[in-house]
């Protein structure tokens, strides 16, 4: 059994459970994106795996070996820290070479490996610099090079792009998958950015308040978020969440939005008559000649999109997003067409997704 397995991991600080009964599995060579808001316990989980923090209970199995009680230096893994954690009194080169020095590599092996990894990361020209002379981007690459150089089977990346500028973040987001997949390492990648999670993760695990609230493929988490919290965290602009009560007539199952019937997928029989929340992605909505009548409140460009804030007659706000350059009304009244089949339904009481019957079958298979 290779890869990373975590079983019922629990860590408390002053009787507050930071991690509560966490179980996870990352198959060998795959990348798990660990996503969650700040304070969710992501960093603590990584530190438990790295051995920097001792959990109260649970098992961590790395490449088939239970590492509980093993000090960090014997876990044979690479880690990049959010704040880089470079050794301030050593040059970039000494920083990068330190895992190989610890493994007693020869001088030749070290210089070859340093050259290879730094050329790959394009920092070979700053090797003699002290960390404080490096730009943030160079620091981040140095930290990454240090994590990669010993070619560990397990790689832990703690939000490595958090403290770098937007341009570099974009570049690295494209570059990292190549870097990671080329090495066959099992990776846990911590991030607060859902786009990063979706771009880099084979699987995404959502951690919130010390619990794993959802594990699934990026598509799964985006299209079928386990609860309203996850739905709101994934997606920018944020998903529209509207209170509804599903009904049924001869045409099928539907909800009423501003006196307009919006038909849902079949399979939501169980939801009929329950107090629910409907989640509508802004990009699944578009302006049309007919649909829900709304008043346009404001419009703002957002990345490559244009986001429009609208309000229904009952004062509910709906956000619509469309690609920049497409035409649409920017003031006055308009109508929004809703594609009910892409909507997600949540239970209003606990925020959990109401799983339609069709999905259940899929999951059972």
Partner 1 sequence: MHHYSPLERVLRGVALTAIVIFFMFPIFWIVLMSLQTNETILRSPPSMVFEPTFSNYAAIIAGRLDSNVASMGIEFMNNLMNSIILSVGSVTVALILGVPAAYAFARHKFRGSEDIAFTLLSFRFAPPLLVLLPLTMYFQQIGLADTYLGLIWVYQLICLPLILWIVRGYFEDIPQDIEHAYRIAGHSWFATFRKIALPLAGPGIAAAALLAFIFAWNNFIFALVLASADKQPVTVGALAFVTASGIQYGQIAAAVVLSITPTLALALYAQRYLVEGLSLGAVKG
Partner 2 sequence: MANDTAVRVAPARFRIPSKLFPYLLSLPALLVCIGILIPFFTAVWFSLQRYRLSQPWNRGMNWGENYLNFLTDPSFWNTLQVSLVYAALTVGLELLLGLGIALLLQKRTRFNNFISIMLLLPLMTAPALAALMFKLMTNPNFGILSYFAQVLGFENMRWGSDPSTALLTVVLVDIWVYTPFIMILLLAGLRSLPTQPFEAAALDGVPRLQQFWRITLPMLLPYILTASLFRLLDSIQQFDIIYAMTQGGPGDRLMVFQVEAYLNFFQSTNVGRSAALLLILWAITFFLSNLFIKNWLRLRERARGEA
Residues that bind partner 2 (CB under 8 A): 1, 5, 7, 54, 59, 61, 64-71, 74
Q: Does 192 bind partner 1 (CB under 8 A)?
A: no
Pick the binder of partner 1 from 9, 33, 50, 121 (CB under 8 A): 50
How far apart are the C-alpha atoms of 95 and 75, rounded to whole Å?
A: 19
Element (H, E) at 157: strand 154-158
Which two three-digit tokens encode residue 349? Answer: 């009481």
Note the residue count of the chain: 365
Q: Which residue has the tokens 């309203």?
A: 228
Give residue for tokens 């002379």: 133
Using CB under 8 A as the binding rule, whether residue 86 contacts partner 1 is answered as: yes
Distance between CA 205 and CA 212 in Å, rounded? 7
Pick 72 or 177: Cβ nearer partner 1: 72
Residue number, 69 or 301, with CB nearest to partner 2: 69
| Tokens found for residue 151 | 């070619």
The verdict on 88 binding partner 1 (CB under 8 A) reads: yes
The helix or strand, by DSSP H or E, that contains position 189, with its residue range, turns out to be: strand 186-191
Report residue 124 as tokens.
């070979």
Q: Could you say which of partner 1, partner 2, none residue 70 binds, taking C-beta under 5 to 8 angstroms by partner kind?
A: partner 2
When binding is defined by CB under 8 A, the residue of 35, 81, 254, 268 that contacts partner 1 is 81
Between 53 and 309, whose beta carbon lies closer to partner 1? 53
User: Which residue lies nearer to partner 1 by CB, 40 or 79?
Assistant: 79
Measured torsion, CA atoms of residues 147, 194, 358, 30, in degrees rounded to the nearest 10:
-10
User: Quick one: which of 32, 77, 230, 231 contacts partner 1 (CB under 8 A)?
Assistant: 77
Q: Does 85 bind partner 1 (CB under 8 A)?
A: yes
State yes or no: cis peptide before 277, omega within 30 of 0. Answer: no
DSSP 211-241: EEEEEE-HHHHHHS-SBHHHHHHSSSSPPEE
Shortest spacing between CB 82 and partner 1, in angstroms: 8
Which of residues 41, 55, 99, 160 is near partner 1 by CB under 8 A?
99
Nearer to partner 2, 21 or 359 (CB): 21
Stretch that binds partner 1, among 69-77, 192-200, 202-210, 300-308 (CB under 8 A): 69-77
By a kind-dependent CB cut-off of 5 to 8 A, residue 67 interacts, out of partner 1, partner 2, none, with partner 2
Q: Which helix (H) or strand (E) holds 147?
A: helix 136-148
Which residues bind to partner 1, rule: CB under 8 A? Answer: 47, 50-52, 71-73, 75-79, 81, 83, 85-89, 98-99, 102-103, 146, 150
């Amino acid at each position: 059994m290779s890869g990373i397995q975590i079983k019922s991991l629990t860590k408390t600080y002053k009787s507050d459970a930071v991690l509560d009964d966490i179980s996870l599995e990352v198959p060998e060579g795959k990348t798990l994106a660990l996503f969650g808001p700040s304070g969710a316990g992501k960093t603590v989980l990584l530190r438990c795996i790295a051995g920097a923090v001792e959990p109260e209970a649970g098992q961590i199995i790395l490449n088939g070996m239970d590492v509980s009680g093993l000090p960090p230096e014997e876990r044979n893994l690479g880690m990049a820290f959010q704040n880089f954690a470079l050794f301030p009194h050593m040059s970039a080169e000494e920083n990068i070479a330190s895992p190989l020095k610890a493994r007693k590599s020869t001088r030749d092996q070290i210089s070859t490996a340093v050259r290879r990894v730094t050329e790959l990361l394009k920092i070979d020209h700053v090797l003699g610099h002290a960390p404080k002379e490096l730009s943030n981007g160079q620091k981040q690459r140095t930290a990454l090079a240090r994590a990669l150089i010993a070619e560990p089977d397990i790689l832990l990346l703690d939000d490595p792009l958090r403290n770098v500028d937007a341009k570099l973040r974009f570049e690295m987001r494209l570059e990292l998958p190549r870097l990671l997949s080329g090495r066959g390492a099992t990776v846990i990648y911590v991030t607060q950015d859902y786009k990063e999670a979706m771009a880099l993760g084979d699987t995404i695990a959502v951690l919130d308040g010390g619990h794993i609230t959802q594990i699934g493929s990026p598509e799964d988490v985006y299209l079928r978020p386990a609860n309203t919290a996850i739905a709101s965290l994934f997606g920018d602009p944020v998903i529209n969440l509207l209170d509804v009560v599903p009904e049924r007539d001869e045409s099928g199952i539907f909800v009423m939005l501003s006196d307009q019937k919006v038909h849902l997928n079949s399979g939501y029989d169980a939801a009929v008559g329950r107090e629910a929340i409907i989640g509508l992605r802004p990009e699944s909505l578009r302006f049309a000649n007919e649909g829900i009548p709304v008043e346009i409140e404001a419009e703002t460009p957002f990345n490559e999109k244009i986001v429009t804030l609208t309000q229904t007659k009952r004062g509910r706000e709906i956000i619509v997003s469309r690609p920049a350059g497409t035409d649409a009304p920017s003031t006055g009244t308009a109508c929004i067409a809703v594609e009910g089949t892409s909507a997600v339904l949540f239970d209003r009481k606990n925020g959990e997704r109401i799983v339609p019957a069709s999905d259940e079958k899929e999951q059972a298979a």
